[in-house]
């Protein structure tokens, strides 16, 4: 594999890991209502992003 591509993919995954850590830590103090609201919004965005992924 092209080293530039490998670095690019590695950075993407690392970036997602960081986003994930922040998300998990950030959610630990939320109320149930806030968790529902957050997850509802994320799922709606995920549905749109999945459509975009299929359209690629």
Partner 1 sequence: MIRKRLLLLLPLLLLLSGCPKDPYTASLKGSADVSQAVSSAIKISVSYYSTGKLNDVRKNQIASVLNTVTDCNMTFRKAVVDAHNAGLIGASSFLPIADSFVHCAEMTPQVKTDASVFNILKAVDTAINGVSLAVASSKGK
Residue 3 sits in the site that holds partner 1 (CB under 8 A): no
Residue 54 sits in the site that holds partner 1 (CB under 8 A): yes
Residue 19 sits in the site that holds partner 1 (CB under 8 A): yes
DSSP the chain: --HHHHHHHHHHHHHHHHHHHHHHHHHTT--HHHHHHHHHHHHHHHHHHHHHHHH-
Q: Which residues bind partner 1 (CB under 8 A)?
A: 1, 5-6, 8-10, 12-14, 16-17, 19-21, 23-24, 27-28, 32, 35-36, 38-40, 42-43, 45-47, 49-50, 53-54, 56
């Amino acid at each position: 594999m092209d080293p530039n591509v490998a670095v690019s993919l590695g950075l993407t995954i690392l970036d997602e890991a960081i986003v994930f850590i922040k998300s998990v830590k950030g959610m630990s103090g939320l109320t149930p209502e806030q968790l529902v609201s957050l997850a509802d919004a994320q799922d709606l965005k995920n549905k749109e992003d999945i459509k975009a992924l299929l359209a690629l």
